[in-house]
Amino acid sequence: MTSVKPSLRSLPAWKALEAHYAKVRELHLRQLFADDPKRGERLALEAAGLYLDYSKNRVTDETLKLLRQLAEECGLRTRIDAMFSGEKINVTENRAVLHVALRAPKEASIVVDGENVVPQVHAVLDKMAAFADRVRGGDWKGHTGKRIRNVINIGIGGSDLGPVMAYEALKHYTHRWMTLRFVSNVDGTDFAEAVQDLDPAETLFIISSKTFTTLETMTNAHTARDWSLAGLGGDAGAVAKHFVAVSTNAEKVSEFGIDTANMFGFWDWVGGRYSMDSAIGLSTMLAIGHENFRAMLTGFHEMDEHFRTAPFEQNLPALLGLLTVWYTNFFGSETVAILPYEQYLKRFPAYLQQLTMESNGKHVTLAGTKVDYSTGPIYWGEPGTNGQHSFYQLIHQGTRLIPADFIAFVETLNPLGRHHDMLLANVFAQTEALAFGKTFEQVKAEGTPDWLAPHRVFEGNRPSNTILADRLTPQILGKLVALYEHSVFTQGAIWNIDSFDQWGVELGKVLAQRIIPELESKTELELRHDSSTNSLIQRYRKLKK
Ligand code: F6P
58: helix, coil or strand?
Answer: coil
Stretch 317-325: mean pLDDT: 98
Instruction: Pinpoint the alpha helices (H) of 310-418.
Output: 316-325, 348-353, 359-360, 392-397
Q: How far is the CA of 160 from the centre of ligand 1 (A)?
A: 9
User: In percent, how much of the chain has pLDDT > 90?
Assistant: 99
pLDDT band (50, 70, 90) for residue 2: very low
Q: Which residues pair with 264 in a beta bridge?
A: 246
- pTM, two decimal places: 0.97
Stretch 524-533: mean pLDDT: 96
Say if residues 477 and 170 touch (Cβ distance below 8 Å): yes
pLDDT in tens, 348-398: 999 999 999 999 999 999 999 999 999 999 999 999 999 999 999 999 999
CB atoms < 10 A from the CB of 455, how many? 9
pLDDT band (50, 70, 90) for residue 6: confident
Active site residue 358: yes
Active site residue 88: no
Spatial separation of the C-alpha atoms in residues 147 and 154, rounded to whole Å = 20
Q: Which residues pair with 245 in a beta bridge?
A: 207, 263
Instruction: Give the HSE-up count for residue 93: Cα atoms under 13 Å, Cβ half-sphere.
Output: 14
Residue 315: DSSP 8-state: -
Options 370, 389, 455, 545, the catalytic residue: 389
- How does strand 50-53 pair with strand 44-47? antiparallel
Structural element, H or E, at residue 244 = strand 243-247
Residue 210, pLDDT > 60, answer yes
Stretch 262-287: mean pLDDT: 97
Active site residue 342: no
**Residue whose CA lies nearest to ligand 1 atom number 10:** 157
Stretch 315-337: mean pLDDT: 98
Spatial separation of the C-alpha atoms in residues 337 and 396, rounded to whole Å = 12
345: helix, coil or strand?
Answer: helix
Instruction: Give the mutation target among 214, 219, 353 for probing the ligand 1 site: most ligand atoms within 8 A of CB.
Output: 214
Q: How far is the CA of 189 from the centre of ligand 1 (A)?
A: 21
> What is the identity of the amino acid at 462?
R
Q: How far is the CA of 250 from the centre of ligand 1 (A)?
A: 17
Spatial separation of the C-alpha atoms in residues 453 and 200, rounded to whole Å = 63
Nearest atom in ligand 1 to the alpha carbon of residue 211 is: 15
Say if residues 151 and 180 touch (Cβ distance below 8 Å): yes
Position 3 scores a pLDDT of: 52
Residue 295, pLDDT > 50, answer yes
Residue 409: DSSP 8-state: E
Instruction: Pinpoint the alpha helices (H) of 43-75.
Output: 61-73
Options 23, 175, 222, 509, the catalytic residue: 509
What residues line ligand 1, using a CB cutoff of 6 Å?
Answer: 156-159, 209-211, 214, 217, 272-273, 358, 502, 505
**Residue whose CA lies nearest to ligand 1 atom number 16:** 209
Stretch 464-480: mean pLDDT: 98
pLDDT in tens, 19-37: 999 999 999 999 999 999 9
pLDDT in tens, 187-197: 999 999 999 99
Stretch 295-317: mean pLDDT: 98
- How does strand 263-265 pair with strand 203-208? unpaired
Spatial separation of the C-alpha atoms in residues 47 and 298, rounded to whole Å = 14
Spatial separation of the C-alpha atoms in residues 51 and 407, rounded to whole Å = 10
Position 5 scores a pLDDT of: 74
Residue 4, pLDDT > 70, answer no
Instruction: Give the HSE-up count for residue 223: Cα atoms under 13 Å, Cβ half-sphere.
Output: 21
pLDDT in tens, 147-189: 999 999 999 999 999 999 999 999 999 999 999 999 999 999 9
